[in-house]
Amino acid sequence: MDKVTNKTAALRYARALMDVALKENTDLDQIDRDLAAFSDLFTQHPTLAKVLLNPAVPVPRKHDAVAELTKLITPLPIVAKLMTLLAGRDRLVLIPDLLASFRERVLDHRHVVRADVTTTTAIAADRATAIEQSLARVTGRTVTVHTHVDPSIVGGVVVQIGSTVYDGSVTRQLERMKEKLRDTHGHQS
């Protein structure tokens, strides 16, 4: 299955998990921790991942393995059921995308947006807090800022919230000036 199909399927499972969790008033943070524990198993134990994600391994064996893992990890019943369901459908490969999708749904439920802020050098905590507050005023939501360093933007700031990008980098400003000069030069000939 391709990456896009997996993300779509993971989103459906995350949506269903969220709906059931809210209906049953289940601790969303605990669900997150339990899902993360399963996801971590695959990264920390590549051999286990190889076996559980291998299409040649029979589904009943995967199902049994997940049943044993749930005894060790002791997740919430809602997560145990989901892991068993995924194993039974040979969809354990979805766990990392499912975790990411679930986290996005939780943030949305809590009216929190994630902002990725890219600067040329690391920014101080007080500056990140100021950016967070400014973005909260603009979006009307609580904002969590994740900072990244990318010297290629030369200067300024690039902020991404969801699929919206606010590009205030020097690199982008130079590109705009270049486009204006090209347009001006093109009209004069």
| Residues 84-124 pLDDT 10s | 999 999 999 999 999 999 999 999 999 998 889 999 999 99
Q: For residue 188, what pLDDT band results from cuts at 50, 70 and 90?
A: low
Residue 165: band (very low, low, confident or very high) from pLDDT cuts 50, 70, 90? confident
Q: How confident is the model at residue 79 (pLDDT cuts 50, 70, 90)?
A: very high
- Looking at 1.10.520.20, 3.20.20.70, 1.10.3720.10, 3.40.50.300, the CATH number of the domain 3-108 comes to 1.10.520.20
pLDDT reported for residue 84: 94
Is the model more confident about 24 or about 187? 24
Kindly indicate the confidence band of residue 1, based on its pLDDT and cuts at 50, 70 and 90: low
Q: Write down the pTM of the prediction.
A: 0.73
3-state secondary structure of 155: coil
Residue 187, pLDDT score? 61
CA torsion, ordered 106, 107, 110, 111, to nearest 10 deg: -140
User: According to CATH, where is 1.10.520.20 located in the chain?
Assistant: 3-108
Beta-sheet strand order (sheet of 164-169): 142-149, 112-119, 156-161, 164-169
- Would you call 87 helix, strand, or coil by DSSP? helix
pLDDT number for residue 154: 84
For residue 60, pLDDT beyond 90: yes
